[in-house]
Amino acid sequence: MRFWITVLMVLAVDQLTKWWITANYQVGESHALLGKWLYLTYVQNRGAAFGILPGQSWFFLVAAFLVIAGLIIYNVRYPVEKPMQIWMGLIAAGAAGNFLDRFRLQYVIDFLDLRWWPVFNVADMAVVIGGSLLIIHMLFFMKEG
C-alpha cells in the first residue's frame, strides 16, 4: 500500500508543478526563488537526465515503461519491506512523471535550477532519492534470505 500511496502523491506533485511552470513561464524564462540558491527556469529537455542523449525519446519511453512495470510486478509478487515500498514508489513515480511528459510532449519539463547543476524536476529528485535510499537499504539493512 505504501508503494501506491508514494507513487500517487509524488506523481501528483510532479505533474502539478510542471503544469504550474508551463502556465506561468515561457521556455527559457528564469526567476530567483531562494536568492542565489534556487531559480525556477523553464526548460524543455529532449534528452535524458541532465540533457544527455537528446532525440532518443523512444528509448527513454521503453526504458521508463520497463522500470515502472518491473517495480509494480515486484511489489505485487513479493513481500517487500515497508521502507523499500516507499523507495520503490519514489523511483516508479519519477519514471512515470517523466514518461508522461515524454509521451505527451516529446520532451520532459524541467524547472528547478541550482545554476551549478543541470535543470531538473520533482520526478528526477524522486528517482535519485528513491534509488539512493534503495541502494543504502539493500546494502546495510536488508535481511539475507
Number of domains composing the chain: 1
Distance (Å) of CA 53 to CA 48, 65, 66, 67: 6, 18, 19, 18
**Percent above pLDDT 90 for the chain:** 76
Q: Give the full edge-to-edge strand order of the sheet including 30-34.
A: 30-34, 38-45, 108-113
Domain presence at residue 53 = yes
More confident residue, 24 or 50: 24
**How many C-beta neighbours within 10 Å does residue 101 have?**
21
Which helix (H) or strand (E) element contains residue 8?
helix 2-24
Domain presence at residue 85 = yes
Catalytic one of 14, 101, 113, 124: 124
Domain presence at residue 79 = yes
Domain presence at residue 111 = no
**Percent above pLDDT 70 for the chain:** 94
124 catalytically annotated: yes
59, with CB counted inside 10 A (0-12, 13-18, 19+), is exposed
pTM equals 0.90
Q: Which domain holds residue 14?
A: 2-21+47-101+121-140
32 forms bridges with which residues in the sheet? 39
110 catalytically annotated: yes
Catalytic one of 14, 101, 110, 113: 110
Domain presence at residue 80 = yes
